[in-house]
Every structure is written in structure tokens, then in C-alpha cells.
Amino acid sequence: MRNFQSVQLASFLVISILFLSCESEKPATSSQKKSQENKIEKTQSLPKEEDKVETFDMSNPAFMMGTNIGTIFKTYYKVGDFNKMITYTASSTIKKYGREKLRSIYRNLDLGFDMKFKNMTTEGNEKILHYEVVINATKLIKRLHVVIENDTARIVPQHLEKADIFESN
């Protein structure tokens, strides 16, 4: 009988310990509820990673979208996006030639050479980007004229009648 009582006592202790260790969830007080609601509102109001919009400083022709305007222009030429090339063309040039004529001229440009940006100088309201280019195994310096319009750098082509956007050497 003593054995039975000790088993009962041990069982009671084990059950009591288990019962006490499993704490039931207490209902939240009104101040705790408000705090939790504020936390939820704050996390919901924070901009999500996919909601963030990348903005680039387009007014620095030497550093636009991680590169320079000459390289951007040449890339659009390579992929045949002549409308984007017109986007980065000065408004005075667009007025002078018109979009269709510019599109035709840009199709016939020869930008199939290696070019490396070297430096930028300023003359009046124009920025001049200097590129080292290799044409027919000959190193040359080409200069690209750029103006800033509406916070965006835009190319001022120098010799479109010769299908060239660079200043003559």
C-alpha cells in the first residue's frame, strides 16, 4: 500500500509540475493591445524593398546611372534604341533636325569603337567630356559636348551632317 501511495504522490507531483510549467496565455490589457496595433501600423507604413524607387542624378554627365553619358548613348546605339538616344539629345538639336531626321542620322552613326572616359571640362554652360578612343589601331581623343536641361545631361552633337556626334580633332 505504501508503494501505491508513493506512486500516487510521484504522479501528482509530476502532473502538478507539468501543469504549472504550462502557463496559460493571459488576455492582453488595452494598453498592450494599443502597443501591438502601433507596432503593426509602423511596420505596415514602412516602405517595402520592392516599393522603393531608384532615383539617379542625371545632371552629372560624368556619372549617370553608374557610368557616363557617352557610354549610355553608345549602349543605346548598340541595342538600336534610337528613341532613347533622342531623349539624351539637346532640345536645340531636336528643334533643328526634328525627331525623324535625328533617328535616321543616329542609325547611320559609327560608334563601333572602344572609348574610355578620361575627364570633363566646363566651357560656359557646356560640359565637355574627353574620351580616349581606338579607331583602326590608332588612339585618339574625342570630345563630346553636353548641356544640362531640366536636371538631365543631354548631348549636343557637333557634326551630324557628317554622322558624327563628337567635336572634330
Does residue 141 belong to any structural domain of this protein? yes
CA 139 to chain centre: 33
Does residue 106 belong to any structural domain of this protein? yes
Does residue 43 belong to any structural domain of this protein? no
Number of domains in the chain: 1
CATH number of the domain that residue 85 is part of: 3.10.450.50
Does residue 34 belong to any structural domain of this protein? no
**pLDDT over threshold 70, residue 103:** yes
Does residue 1 belong to any structural domain of this protein? no
Does residue 30 belong to any structural domain of this protein? no
21 band by pLDDT with thresholds 50, 70 and 90:
low
112 band by pLDDT with thresholds 50, 70 and 90:
confident
Q: Which amino acid is at 85?
A: M
Mean pLDDT of all residues in the chain?
80
**Model pLDDT, residue 44:** 54
**pLDDT over threshold 60, residue 48:** no
Q: What is the mean pLDDT of residues 120-131?
A: 93
Question: Domain range for residue 120?
Answer: 69-162
Which tens digit of pLDDT belongs to each residue from 62-85?
Answer: 777 778 889 899 999 999 999 999
Does residue 9 belong to any structural domain of this protein? no
Helices (H), 22-164: 30-45, 69-79, 82-87, 91-97, 99-107
pTM value is: 0.64
**pLDDT over threshold 90, residue 90:** yes
